[in-house]
Structure 1
Amino acid sequence: MAMELDPPPLFLCPISMELMEEPVTVATGVTYDRWSIERWFFKYGKTTCPATMQRLSSFELTPNHTLKRVISSWMDRSSSSTSSSSCVLARERLPSVLAGIEETPFKVTALKNLKSCMADDEAARGDFVACGGIQVLGRVMTQALAESCAAGDFSAFQTCEEAAAVLATLPLSDDESVELLLNPECMRPVSVLVQRGSAEARLHAMSMISKISKASVRDWTLEVDVDDMVTALLELLSDGASAKLSSRALDVLLDVTAQSRGAGRARAVEMGAVRVLVEILPDADRHVAERALLLQKRMCKCPEGRLAFAEHALAVTAVARMMLRVSAVATRLAVNVLWLVACAAAPSERVLDDMAVSGAVAKLLTLLQVENSPSTKDKAAMMLRAHGAFWSQYPCFRTDLKDYLKFLN
Structure 2
Amino acid sequence: MGDDLQIDIDIPRYFICPISLEIMKDPVTLSTGITYDRDSIEQWLFSKKNEVCPVTKQVVLDIELTPNHTLRRLIQSWCTINASLGIERFPTPKPAISKTEIIKLLKDSKSPHLQIKSLNRLKTIVLENEKNKRMMESAGAFNQLTTIISNVYDHDIIMSSSSPEVSGADEALTILYHLKLSQAGLKFLFGKAGNFVETLAHVMQRAVSFESRAYAIMLLKSMFEVAEPVQVTSLTLSFFKEIVQILNDQISQKATKATLKLLINVCPWGRNRIKAAENGVVSALIDILLDCTDKRVSEMIIILLDHVCQCAEGRAELMKHGGGLAVISKKIFRVSSVASERAVKILYSMTMFSGNSRVVQEMMELGVVEKLILVLQIDCGRKIKEKAREMLKVNARVWKKSPCITYDLI
- Deviation string for 1:193-233 (max 9, x for gaps)? 2223222112221221122222245554467x632232222
Q: Does 1:309 align with 2:318?
A: yes
Q: How does 1:165-244 map to 2 (within 5 A)?
A: 165-174=174-183, 176-182=184-190, 183-185=192-194, 186-197=196-207, 198-217=209-228, 219-221=230-232, 226-244=236-254
Alignment partners' CA distance in 1, 2:159 and 2:320: 42
State the one-letter code of the partner of 1:81: P
Q: CA deviation at 1:329?
A: 1.8
Determine the C-alpha separation between the residues in 2 that align with 1:346 and 1:135: 49
Does the aligned pair in 2 maintain the 1:91–1:124 contact within 8 Å? no
Distance 1:77 1:218, change over 3 A: farther
Q: What is the TM-score when the length of structure 2 is the normalising length?
A: 0.71
> Secondary structure, in 3 states, of the residue corresponding to 1:313?
coil
Structure index of larger Rg: 1
1:372 counterpart letter in structure 2: C
Check the 8 A contact 2:173/2:212 in 1, yes or no: yes
Distance 1:228 1:191 in 2: 8
8 A contact 1:300–1:306 mirrored in 2: yes
Are 1:404 and 2:402 matched, yes or no?
no
Structure 1 residue aligned with 2:376: 368
1:93 equivalenced with 2:97 (yes/no): no
Structure 1 partner of 2:153: 145
Match of 1:377 in 2: 385
Whole-Å Cα distance in 2 between the matches of residues 126 and 241 of structure 1?
29
Q: 1:32 is matched with which residue?
A: none
Match of 1:291 in 2: 300
Root-mean-square deviation (CA, aligned residues, Å) is 2.5
- SS of 1:281's equivalent in the other structure is helix
Give every structure 1 segment of 4 or more consecutive aligned residues whose post-TM-superposition deviation is greater than 6 Å.
none
Q: Deviations over 1:333-384 (max 9, x none)?
A: 11010000001x2512222122212221111111112111111111011101
Instruction: Tell me the distance in 2 between the aligned counterparts of 1:382 and 1:210.
Output: 37
The alignment's TM-score, normalised by the length of structure 1, stands at 0.71
Provide the secondary structure at the position in 2 that maps to 1:119. helix
Gaps of 5+ in 2: 1-88
Among 150, 155, 168, the alignment partner of 1:159 is: 168
Instruction: Establish whether residue 322 from structure 1 lines up as the match of residue 326 from structure 2.
Output: no
2:233/2:272 contact within 8 Å kept: no
Unmatched segments (≥5 aa) in structure 1: 1-75
Distance 1:237 1:346, change over 3 A: closer
Q: Is 1:275 aligned to residue 286 of structure 2?
A: no
- Cα distance between partner residues in 2 of 1:199 and 1:152: 13
Q: Is the 8 A contact 2:105 2:119 kept in 1?
A: no
Q: Give the SS at the match of 2:310.
A: coil
Paired residues, what number? 317
Aligned-partner Cα distance in 1 for 2:188–2:167: 22
Map of 2:120 onto structure 1 = 112
